[in-house]
């Protein structure tokens, strides 16, 4: 049986305030298994525990209890194997500003013990679009270029798992698209991608599975399609032959509103049907010229789950 890319069991992290001695639990016994080759999204509001989990996997934060395994390498029993199996792009732009792009990649490759003959420095420079910046110190790079360099550093040892922690924060649209194009190619070639992002449309477009973490616990995990179908809410936009300025009494029990020249009805498919809505509109004497619907978005589910938890 193939080992999962990431296997987390009962992961707990508790911090203690040095001044007050008060304990705060950032992770509450998290269980999470991510299969190899997947493009997995980990979503959650600020303070949910995403960065704590990633920092534990990176080895920069010590867990309180539980276990973490990367491609079958236990983080406690085989630290080197676990670290060689994972590349992490942090949210913060942390770089030594005095090293050039090429030097930064070479030093990182040396850190992983990669012989010079097997280093992919030029390949990564070209893949990240940094060829004309290769011999410039990172302090002269724009924010977007620094982000590219961070991704390049995470790839020097060809890890089977790549973790992207808010990789496009503060990045312009053009760069964002080019980064995702490259990451898609990595995933298609077999690299497992774990993405955390505040841009929900990115997760919706890129990920095949999504977990939502809130207050240090996984509150939902499923395939993207299953999650989208699980939102019991739809919006229908009606263009009327004669625009109205007030909601008719026949529609008073519905979540109806007027937006511009359209009548908008929001309803729950589990408790209402389109035929009932149309019947109410017919009894109100409304003549429909056109109907359009708004597809369920991941943001709807995210807001519903985190506000209820």
CA distances from 13 to 28, 53, 86, 119, 257 (A): 7, 9, 21, 36, 46
Neighbours of 130 (CB within 10 A): 19
State the Cα–Cα distance between residues 309 and 241, nearest whole angstrom. Answer: 43
3-state secondary structure of 94: coil
Secondary structure of residue 253 in the 3-state scheme: coil
Q: How many residues does the chain have?
A: 309
Tell me the CATH class for 234-296: alpha beta
User: Could you tell me where in the chain the CATH 3.40.50.300 domains are found?
Assistant: 6-229
**β-pairing, 39-43 with 209-214?**
parallel
Q: What is the DSSP letter of 242?
A: S
**Alpha carbon distances (Å) from 45 to 48, 51, 214, 215, 225:** 6, 11, 7, 9, 21
Question: What is the rounded CA–CA span in Å between residue 174 and residue 157?
Answer: 27
pLDDT at 308: 59
* pLDDT tens, N- to C-terminus, the chain (309 residues): 578 999 999 999 999 888 888 889 999 999 999 999 999 999 888 888 998 999 999 988 999 999 999 999 999 999 999 999 999 998 887 788 889 999 999 999 999 999 999 999 999 999 888 999 999 998 888 888 888 899 999 999 999 999 998 887 666 777 778 788 888 999 999 999 999 877 777 888 899 999 999 999 999 898 877 776 666 667 889 999 888 989 989 888 888 899 888 999 887 776 778 888 899 989 999 999 999 876 556 666 677 667 655
Correct CATH for 6-229 of 3.60.70.12, 3.40.50.300, 3.40.1160.10, 3.40.50.10610: 3.40.50.300
Which residue spans of the chain are classified as CATH 3.30.70.100?
234-296
Query: Which pLDDT belongs to residue 48?
Result: 87
167-177 core/surface letters (b: 16 or more CB in 10 A; e: else): bbeebeeebbe
């Amino acid at each position: 049986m193939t080992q999962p890319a990431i296997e987390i069991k009962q992961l707990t992290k508790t911090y203690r305030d040095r001044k007050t001695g008060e304990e705060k639990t950032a992770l509450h016994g998290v269980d999470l298994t991510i299969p190899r080759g997947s493009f997995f999204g980990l979503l959650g509001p600020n303070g949910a525990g995403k960065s704590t989990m990633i920092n534990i996997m990176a080895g920069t934060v010590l867990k309180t209890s539980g276990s973490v395994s990367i491609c079958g390498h236990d983080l406690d029993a085989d630290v080197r194997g676990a670290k060689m199996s994972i590349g992490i792009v942090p949210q913060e732009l942390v770089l030594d500003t005095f090293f050039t792009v090429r030097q930064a990649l070479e030093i990182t490759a040396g850190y992983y013990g990669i012989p010079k003959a097997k280093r992919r420095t030029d390949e990564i420079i070209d893949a990240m679009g940094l060829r004309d910046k290769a011999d410039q110190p990172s302090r002269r790079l724009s924010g977007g270029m620094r982000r590219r360099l961070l991704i390049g550093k995470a790839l020097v040892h060809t890890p089977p798992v790549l973790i992207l922690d808010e990789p496009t924060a503060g990045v312009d649209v053009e760069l964002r698209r080019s980064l995702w194009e490259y990451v898609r190619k990595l995933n298609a070639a077999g690299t497992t991608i774990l993405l955390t992002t505040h841009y929900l449309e990115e997760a919706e477009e890129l990920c095949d599975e999504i977990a939502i973490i809130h207050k240090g616990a996984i509150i939902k995990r499923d395939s993207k399609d299953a999650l989208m179908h699980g939102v019991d809410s739809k919006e229908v936009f009606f263009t009327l032959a004669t625009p109205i300025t007030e909601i008719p009494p026949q529609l008073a029990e519905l979540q109806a509103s007027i937006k511009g020249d359209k009548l908008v009805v929001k309803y729950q498919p589990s408790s209402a049907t389109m035929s009932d809505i149309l019947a109410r509109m017919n009894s109100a004497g409304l003549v429909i010229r056109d109907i359009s619907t708004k597809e369920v978005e991941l943001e709807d589910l995210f807001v519903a789950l985190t506000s209820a938890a």
